[in-house]
Amino acid sequence: GGTGGTGGTGEVRFDGVSHAYGERPVLHTIDLRLTEHRIGVVGGNGSGKSTLARMINGLVTPDSGRVLVNGLDVAKHGAAVRRQVGFVFTDPDSQIVMPTVAEDVAFSLRRSTLSKAEVQQRVDNALRQFGLAGHADHPTHLLSGGQKQLLALAAMLVRDPQTLVCDEPTTLLDLRNTRMVNALLRELPVQLILVTHQLDLLTDMDRVLVVHEGRIAADGPPEPTLARYHELVLGS
Ligand code: ADP
């Protein structure tokens, strides 16, 4: 076992969350209770999706309202929340901290109570899962953007989080690796909150949220929600 990734889902709640960057309002009184296993988030550029995702791990603190993860206010208990929730964002450079691939994945487990041998085994498994086994000793700064994205995913998932929040995690990947990651994300026994432009990934989600101009414009099962998204954003 790890930190709770046993297939159960967490609860992520937004209670009256509003936010502005300077004078520019980007989220307007968001109320959400997310408990489903697989949740997709879609919306146009600049609609506020990344801001919403970043609030779940405290990278952005709301101007008003609260974000709660399993009852913990992220603004007050960020470290505890980050032990339960993994995050993978579009820019992998911001998440890679160690000089080599294997060290970077192992770094994720630095606070775990696992033995050295168990850490090694978990790291090996994670590297294999993401096709990085042959790159264990590779300097991280020499990886391609796509390899960095795979490394960021491996380093998050090695911790066996209860919930994984991904913001466009495959933008830098080639077709083969995009398929591999999509298949992994589909199978993982982890609660997934996935921001994506790949509409085909949303068709088998438990719930889809459409973010439009800083509001939740549609919310529900994939088919009617994506139909609404088409009307709203694509005007068809
Ligand atoms: P999305 O992920 O849907 O593209 P974002 O949440 O990234 O939307 O951005 C919403 C709006 O907030 C955009 O207009 C964007 O330019 C602005 N924005 C995002 N991050 C910042 C920031 N750190 N400082 C100022 N403005 C920002």
**Is residue 1, in this structure, part of any structural domain at all?**
no
Q: Which atom of ligand 1 is nearest to the CA of 214?
A: 10
Close Cβ partners of 20 (under 8 Å, ≥ 6 residues apart): 26, 63
Give the pLDDT of residue 236: 58
pTM: predicted TM-score of the whole model, two decimal places: 0.92
In-domain check, residue 105: no
Q: Which atom of ligand 1 is nearest to the CA of 60?
A: 23
Q: What is the pLDDT of residue 73?
A: 97
Q: Is residue 155 part of a domain?
A: no
H/E element, 50: helix 49-56
pLDDT for the residue 9: 78
Residue 154 lies in a domain: no
Does the beta carbon of 196 sit less than 6 angstroms from any atom of ligand 1? Answer: no
Q: How many domains does the chain have?
A: 1
51 Cβ closer than 6 Å to some ligand 1 atom = yes
Binned average pLDDT, 10 residues per bin, the chain of 236 residues? 54 98 97 97 96 95 97 95 90 90 95 93 96 96 92 94 93 91 90 93 95 97 95 76
Domain with residue 83: its CATH number is 3.40.50.300
Residue 172 falls inside a structural domain: yes
Q: Cβ distance 127 to 102 under 8 Å?
A: yes
The tokens describing 182, both together, are: 């999509």
Predicted confidence at residue 89, as pLDDT, reads 85
Q: How is the chain split among helix, strand and coil, in percent rounded to 5?
A: 35, 25, 35
State the residue range of the domain holding 208: 12-95+161-234
C-alpha span between 225 and 5 (Å, rounded): 28
User: Residue 24: phi, psi to the nearest 5?
Assistant: -95, 110
Any ligand 1 atom below 6 A from CB of 221:
no
The answer to whether the CB of 215 falls within 8 A of the CB of 52 is no
Ligand 1 centre to CA of 182 (Å) is 25
Question: Between the CA of residue 114 and those of 3, 50, 184, what are the distances in Å?
Answer: 11, 33, 24
Please tell me the distance between residue 18's alpha carbon and the centre of ligand 1 in angstroms. 13
Q: What is the pLDDT of residue 81?
A: 94
